[in-house]
Amino acid sequence: MSTYQYVRPADIEKESMRIIEAEMGERGIEVPAEHLAVVKRVIHTTADFDYGRNLKFTEHAVERSIAALQEGGCVFITDTNMALSGISKPSLKKLDAEAVCYMADPQIMRQAKEEGTTRATASMRRGAAEHPDAIFVSGNAPTALITLSEMIREGLRPTLIVAVPVGFVNVVESKQELFELCAENDIPAIAAFGRKGGSNVAASICNALLYSAVGTIDPMKRGWQK
């Protein structure tokens, strides 16, 4: 029978990050320093080292996003309540930021039904109308990315788009199109190319940026971890 010792959550996270970085080196995964905190947190969330290669970033996306967060008042708009629940509320509070999800809003449900579209499409449209400079976060619905691409062509210029939906239908294509449009229009974007992704990945990317912005990448600096 194995014998276990109590280890503080902060120490578990620090050791996990050390293991991740070491294994990245063993696997030949090279990531620019600017992207390392995001990539490591996604691998920490998923235990999937494929993200060391399939996460793509537009130029200076991380640096610009952290700067925007530090200015205060940013709004995250997610396409699932699961992603919303995973975003660090203490970090949002420190940065006078907020996170919202309209997917369960009765008005959005009615609108999607009347227009014959998805709730994700209606949610992104509402988000852009209310917060055009928001951080849009998609971990589930490729229709959210398709809608964001349409709105970028119409002139939308958000602070950041996190494009990591998971699945098999329109997922690969919607990420590719969105990422290319963002690069062309100087919009910061982080995308998980291919089929992989999910609400947990979306939340982990947001948290990596939030922790970087408030200086709590070290888990010991987050009081609840002591």
For the stretch 38-93, pLDDT in tens is 999 999 999 999 999 999 999 999 999 999 999 999 999 999 999 999 999 999 99
For the stretch 150-180, pLDDT in tens is 999 999 999 999 999 999 999 999 999 999 9
Q: How far is CA 129 from CA 53, 77, 98, 106, in A?
A: 34, 12, 16, 17
Sequence letter at residue 166: V
In eight-state DSSP terms, residue 48 is -
Residues 6+ apart with CB under 8 A from 134: 74, 75, 76, 77, 127, 128, 158, 159
Q: Among candidates 168, 164, 167, which has minimal Cα distance to 200?
A: 164
Q: Average pLDDT, stretch 16-23?
A: 94
In this structure, the dihedral spanned by the alpha carbons of residues 133, 134, 139 and 141, taken in order and rounded to 10 degrees, is -60
Element (H, E) at 150: helix 142-153
User: Which domains are delineated in the chain?
Assistant: 9-218 (3.40.50.10230)
Question: 6-10, 104-108, 219-223 — which is least confidently predicted?
Answer: 6-10
Instruction: Identify each DSSP E strand in 39-87 by its residue range.
Output: 55-57, 75-78
In the predicted model, is pLDDT for residue 9 greater than 80? no
Two tokens, residue 194: 């291919």
- Catalytic site residue from 35, 44, 60, 131: 44
For the stretch 117-147, pLDDT in tens is 999 999 999 999 999 999 999 999 999 999 9
* Residue 44 bears catalytic tag: yes
Global confidence as pTM: 0.93
In the predicted model, is pLDDT for residue 20 greater than 80? yes
Distance (Å, whole) CA 76 – CA 100 = 6
